[in-house]
Amino acid sequence: PDIDIPIPTSPQTPTPTFTTAPTATPTKTPKKYFEVDVDTVKGNTGDLVTVPVSFINVPENEISTTKITLNYNSSLLEFVSVEPGSIVPNPKLNFSYSNGTDEFDGFINLQYTNNSDYTACINKDGVFANITFKVVCTYDRHAKVVVQSGMFKDRNLNKVPYYSYIGGINISGIE
């Protein structure tokens, strides 16, 4: 008699299927960084020229403290004065500066410290300081004014990162 004998086959192993819940990919809005912008202006030999230093994208937690050192070539420009800009609250109480030269460069230290209360924090974009130079260079040239270093803190005294932009004076000389 014919007998049906089952022929053994290799067992089938099920393929594991992994399913993970989809995770939402957050779409980041580009972060606006706090910026210090030294403007570029024009001047002629002998002119008094004002270079604005502006703050852009002042953070939501405002700026309560800042120390900025700017450098310039003292053989091209002669420092005259600094005036606080329109965004500085209580400048007589909160704003100060010093300046000097070494054998190569001139420097200007700008300082703002909130010596009163939160209402004295810098809370908007605009001109922080106006620096006036006398142009002593006698030939056509760009005289840079550069942020050498800076420190910024918000009203909670957290450091605020920043970008800075080089500016200066495009000089039209007499030679």
Sheet holding 106-113, edge to edge: 40-44, 167-172, 141-153, 65-72, 106-113, 95-101
User: Could you give phi then psi for residue 120, rounded to 5 degrees?
Assistant: -95, 5
Q: Grade residue 120 by pLDDT with cuts at 50, 70 and 90.
A: confident
Q: Position 64: which residue type?
A: S
| Contact by Cβ (8 Å): 48, 77 | no
Q: Grade residue 1 by pLDDT with cuts at 50, 70 and 90.
A: low
Q: What pLDDT score was predicted for residue 28? A: 45
Q: Grade residue 71 by pLDDT with cuts at 50, 70 and 90.
A: very high
Q: What is the pLDDT of residues 91-115, one digit of tens each?
A: 998 999 999 998 779 999 999 998 7
